[in-house]
A and B are shown apart, each in its own frame.
Chain A
Amino acid sequence: MAEKWYELALRLSKFYGGKIMIVPKVPIRGLKDFAIWYTPGVAAVSEKIKEGGSDTSFEYTWRWNSVAVLTDGSRVLGLGNVGPEASLPVMEGKALIFKYLGGVDAVPLPVRAVEVDEIVNAGRMVEPAFGGINLEDIESPKCFHVLERLREGLQIPVWHDDQQGTATATLAGLINALKVVGKNIRDVGIVLVGAGASNIRTAYMLIKYGADPRKIVLVDSAGILHAEREDLDKLMLEHPWKYDLALKTNGERKRGGVREALRGADVLIAASRPGPGIIRKEWISQMEKDPIVFALANPVPEIWPWEAKEAGARIVATGRSDFPNQINNSLVFPAVFRGALDARARAITDEMTIAAAEELASYAEERGIREDYIIPTMEEWDVFPREAAAVAAKATEQGVARRPLTYKEELRNATELISLSLNMLRSLVEGGFIKMFNGGID
């Protein structure tokens, strides 16, 4: 199965020479028009920004719609540290999705940087050119340090998709899953297996959303995280976020491994390593009534959905599109940035992220949630403008929007921009400017 995609991706990436390009968005009636778009006319625009202050750049340039996809290539997909050049195809793919589903002009930006300071500096240095920064595929815990410092230091939204995108989609799915089984987030025991970028952020988001931290249990390769674990001082020095969670979570002081953690739990969110066999059936049968199981590892979930079901799981979600309930960050980042960019937001706050999750959940709920439909699918593209609208409205409410927008305004705006992007690509293909590869590419 994957082999087919590998073969196609290799062949087509070479055929097209990558996946994205830059296309002008102004008409050029003749070379004389360069006097408008370039010199001498452009000098007036330059001066306008100098006089009006840096925020004026959002009005007169593409900055309002541009995002840097910044990476050091240190943790690319499941491949590990492949370096910046090898990360480029992934960043291009990200930029493609940004454009297609969010109408966002995203620029792949792998940088030759190793230390936290270097990546932070790279972000700082490119801030003037972009309306936002999407951090991508940076190893943990480095990614936490980089995100925190850039969020503090910059006046544009900085987002780390591996943490926040996945956490947002997870929260959206969980909101509806809990509704289906009739449980409340405040009461449920939640076990997070894997304490990498996404699950650490998920833990924080769940707490922010109302989960009881004492009922959350994290499990990593060294077992259940608790306040007396031997490696806690090392965590304090290297991974303050995980250290903090070790102190806040697991009020019952569970010890041991996944098996012990799952006994009596309501929810399992696994984002650890490819399965199957990482989560065992007999552990799931030890959970509370109506277990909710998210097995998010790719390409193979920690446990196969049918195995989880056989063991008693009421609701199962994975990261894959060929099973029901796909927890996919592509449902999140194009829309979150669409909304943040349109509001000219200075940040993407946790509350904006939660608003996105709630909107995703409401969309599915309106269509009728059930065990195999707790989150919208990628095909339901009209969820994206709604998410964007929720994000922009929250940014406005919180005072981080340079350009305040109501939900309705942004819904109209985002719908227009996203359909424009879909239509533009369609017309380029229909016009023969982008060659179709259907069946064969020769």
Chain B
Amino acid sequence: MSVSIREATINDLPQLLDLVLRLKRLNAEFDPLLKTLPDDELRRVAEEYIKTAIEDRSRYLVLVADADGKIVGVLKADVRNRIFYVPRKEGYIIEFYVMPEYRRRGLGRTMIDEAARLLRERGADVIVAEFPALNQIAVNFYSKADFRPLLYIYARESG
């Protein structure tokens, strides 16, 4: 089974959406503050969010791993301006999910490398990833891919 990595088109949306929803449910396992919306609402919001990203290639990157027509991985990054720092632009990965049976064979790493290349083409010289603090698997993955902790995001309920 060959897997190719390419930028997403609008036709990928239905399949891609499932993977993003899986990611959100996975995130919810790590902290109650990452509890997801009710299913139908979550799906609606996610669809809109991904559609926007696919349609605006200057501000977003949506990569998919395509196994003979089946979407088995997704990576979505935002191209953001950095107001105070250099480099001035960063590619900010928020969504990154690979289907379980396609894990542990280097696909994630290939996707990250391809994302880095394409983000650089879009002017982003830094690549940043966001994930739940307790997701040790992600910590290990990004550390192995030469990422390092840059900022901490701490949260609590305001009440």
Interface residues of chain A, those whose CB is within 8 Å of chain B, are: 227-228, 230, 232-234, 236-237, 243, 246-247
Contacts and interface: CB of A to CB of B under 8 A. Distances in A.
A247 B101 contact: yes
Nearest to B30: A237
B100 interface: yes
Interface stretch (B21-29, B42-50, B81-89, B116-124): B21-29
Contacts of A228: 99-101
- Please report whether the interface of chain B is mostly helix, strand, loop or mixed according to DSSP: helix
Contacts of A246: 100
- Please report whether the interface of chain A is mostly helix, strand, loop or mixed according to DSSP: helix
Contacts, number: 24
Interface residues of B, number: 8
B101 A233 contact: no
15 contacts: A227-B99, A228-B100, A228-B101, A230-B25, A233-B22, A233-B25, A233-B26, A233-B29, A234-B25, A234-B26, A234-B29, A236-B100, A243-B100, A246-B100, A247-B101
A442 B101 CA distance: 65
Sort A-B residue pairs by CB-CB distance and give the 6 closest, nearest first: A233-B26, A227-B101, A232-B100, A247-B101, A227-B100, A237-B29
A232 B101 CA distance: 10
Nearest to B136: A237
Contacts of B29: 233-234, 237
A230 B18 CA distance: 10
A246 B100 CA distance: 9
Contacts of B99: 227-228
A232 B25 CA distance: 10
A230 B99 CA distance: 11
Nearest to A228: B99
Contacts of B137: 236
A238 to B, nearest CB: 8
Interface string B116-139: 000000000000000000000100
A233 B22 CA distance: 8
Nearest to A247: B101
Contacts of B101: 227-228, 247
Contacts of A237: 29
B46 to A, nearest CB: 15
A227 to B, nearest CB: 4
Contacts of A233: 22, 25-26, 29, 100
Contacts of B25: 230, 233-234
B24 to A, nearest CB: 10
Nearest to B23: A233
Nearest to A248: B101
A247 B22 contact: no
Contacts of B100: 227-228, 232-233, 236, 243, 246-247
A244 to B, nearest CB: 10
A236 B138 CA distance: 13
A247 B100 CA distance: 7
